[in-house]
A and B are shown apart, each in its own frame.
Chain A
Amino acid sequence: MVKGLEDRLFNVFVYAVLVFCALLAIFPILYVVSVSITPFGEVLRNGGFILIPRDVTFSAYKTLLTQSNLPQAFKITVLITVVGTAVNLILTGLMAYPLSRKNLPGRRIFLLMIVFTLIFSGGLIPTYLIVKSVGLIDSIWAMILPNAIWSFNVLIMKSFFEGLPEELFESARIDGAKEFRILFQIVTPLSIPVIMTIGLFYLVGHWNEFFQAIFYVTDRTLFPLQVIVREILMQSQQTLENADNITPTQTLQMAAVMIASLPVLVVYPFIQKYFTKGMLLGSIKG
């Protein structure tokens, strides 16, 4: 009985902590949502802080979607996210799978080369020179190809593939399957969790694409979402050195933030369930 009480107290404590953490996480999002749908005058009247909007307007969203570069940037971001993630997954998978096979000749050397890139990188200017010399400057491929494979994700995928029972491959071979058939019909369906997890990493990475766009792209029509959103947010942080500048209201800024982050917020819950099985490096997982 005593133990039961202790257990219950412990549960209450755990729940309290979890609820508190959840609130901490929800709070800023709620604030952003509220401000983005409240007229700015109303925001100011309330001392700049609003959690529950009383006066709702979508004019900020309308302004952004009709009078700014956001819609164009949105298209670019969706494009690089979809194409980029597909490229990423195919390349990462094709790299990780052979490395997971113990009988691959030179496996150790390949692995060492991959790990080497985790620790050392060429640096900004050599990378820029390569991107320039292969003619990627000012194209959407500059935001996709330079990061087509993240070495760390290769290692995660490799260790997932290694976890697949060897007997599976043996029986497939006995039934006459060749390497490609094994990869696509046996390994791939079994690897949905890791593909989804790694895919989400890549997807969020592409969605937040910023630095490569800043460095490799000068064509304004190719700027992705985050560059434009940053532009909108930066404007309000500069004092007017020029009378022509227009400072966007906080409502407008928050609406821009929402437009930029909503799609990922929507995708996350659907993929999250794969996380329990998907990512593992060493040790044992369910």
Chain B
Amino acid sequence: MKVDRRSFLGLGLGAAAGVAVSPALVKLTDDSSIWTQNWPWTPVPEDGEITYDKSVCSLCPGCCGISVRKINGRPVKIEGDSDFPVNNGGACLHGIAGLQYLYDPARVKTPMRKKAGKFEAISWDEAIDLAAQKLGDIRQNGAPESLGLVTGTREGSVSKLFNRFMDAFGSPNAYAMPSLEANLALTAQTLHGEGNTIGFDLENSDFVLSFGAGIIEGWGSPVACFKANASRKERHAELYQIDPRLSNTAANADRWIPINPGTEADLALGLCSVLLQKNLFVPGQLTGGLNRFTAVLASEYTPQKVEAITGVKAADIEKLAMAFAKAKMPVAVPGRGRGDQGQSLREFAAVQTLNALAGRLNKEGGAFVMPKADYLTFSEASMDEVAETGAGKEKLANSIDELIEKLSASAKPLVNALLVYNANPCYTLKTPERVKEAFKKVDFVVSFSSFMDETALASDLILPASTFLERLEDVPSGAGLAKQVVGLARTMVAPVFNTKNPGDALILLAQAMGGTIAESFEWETYDEALEAAAEGIWDGLNEEGYAVISQGTPMESPATDFAFMASNPAPIRPGCEGEFILMPIDNMRISGSAVASSPFAVKTVSDKVLSGTDVLVEINPETARAKGLKDGGSAMLKTQVKSVKVKVNYNEGIMPGVIGMVRGLGHAFDNPYVAGKGVNVNDLIGPVIEPGSGLDAAFGIKASISKA
């Protein structure tokens, strides 16, 4: 017997066939695929005891209750809290992604000071000493009014503590960033008197006339708005959306009324004019210049004239006014987009005047004029002589935008030091380059930020703030809600890095400054300060996690003062030169405010908005074709401020001549998942300050576009 080549072949084939028909191959294939899933570097969530703790989200002014799912005490998921009166279990995509902010790559992990243009880590003691010394010098020089403050809002105990610090220090120069709540408070103050704000009873109204308000795009308290909108069909309530663009809200509405950008106020006044002319108004408590106002309307805002301004047909204006007057529970809602940026008092007041004339103030389903939720009581801050003198000086400006204007224009330094809390003016204000330049003129900028954002990068000292999941804080609802609720954000997890509650950092700073400033901050911790200040509601707030300050229709109908509207304030028109109007668009998936979108939220943005790192601008195909622009093609978008490269997105739903660009992209800080994508629309727009109110009312800018 001779073993030859064929025998070996037989052996090999036999072995192969044997293995092939045995279960080993199938089994091994299956197991190896599982084996790869278990490679030791694959992250595996820890197993353990599951608990749920309640807190409140403060990423936006919405004030939604959240329930944080934890495993062995580690937060792993955020859900809406079904017991919370604002959101009733709902949550938005920013809220559910809140955990990502804990581990954000751009987080400031420890106090930092800027030395020779570079940041270096320092200890909390060093940081507080440095700040106390710098601020002490300012007081020593007898110019306490040259300390400035910028906070996100004026509401809530932390902002109030910052304002208290300014009082004790002796500076009147405390400013808040533009916000819907501030705009509503200013409107209420102008029309109904000091100390008031306005809420809109969207969930009970049967006819919502929205002047561009992005009801499902983040206006007000977003989840409360989604819910009110979602129940519209079963309530047989109608929504009319006045908007130059078919936004999601407009697409969801019963009727979309396209309008020339920035002429919403004129349409509101046109509607008022029809109501007065047809005697359809409700004679309530209408005081102060109604006659003059009527005369202004009769001469300047006849339907024909309004048609010429707004592009809405005169006949339609009359029909719309009739529909509004005849509806059972109509309400007009101001504030285009999210209602925070690029807004004018004229527009807010015009829309609220429509509510007043139609007798919709403090009626179910209408607009509620109510006193601001005043649940915090701080004693008067102690003030020494320096503070008294400084506080007596006149404020440098009416608004943050005006302040930046003045800082830019002035040759000598107006502000020697600036505290920034919960705000990112070097990104969110118009022409951020201008803001950064103004910041450079300030000798010492202290940022109380959680992230190394654009403003933190432009500051000299960072006292890193714990995020909303790492600290206790009261969160008042302040965004056009009909009911006033204060939620309690609780410490869901110990600070991940060497950060502090800004309230605690401020107390440390005040104590380091000594004297009457330390006296004004006698608390050991911020938690103690909050408990003392919120004493009246503390038990309920602590137990339930929220306190309802006011709910339901306010009893008395307020008086409306027409003096402001009777003065026929000048409209704001987009500045500069160009064939088109560039208009920022608010998109629910992208945050345009101080806290940037989470990586998760950015991932959900459509590639019709952001494609790779390119931003797409919406253009009506008619406009685009005339300029030779192809759908998806590149283009140069140019305004007087800047020109940028963009991509074109044909959209039949935007008025010809209007270019829409999403707000909230183009961040420039160290977070590869969020920054470096698209363009910051604010880079392209210059501010237009409304006289009197000080609001930056630039809702857009003239622009030109050409093939790139």
- Report whether chain A binds chain B: no
Residue numbers of B with Cβ under 8 A of A are none
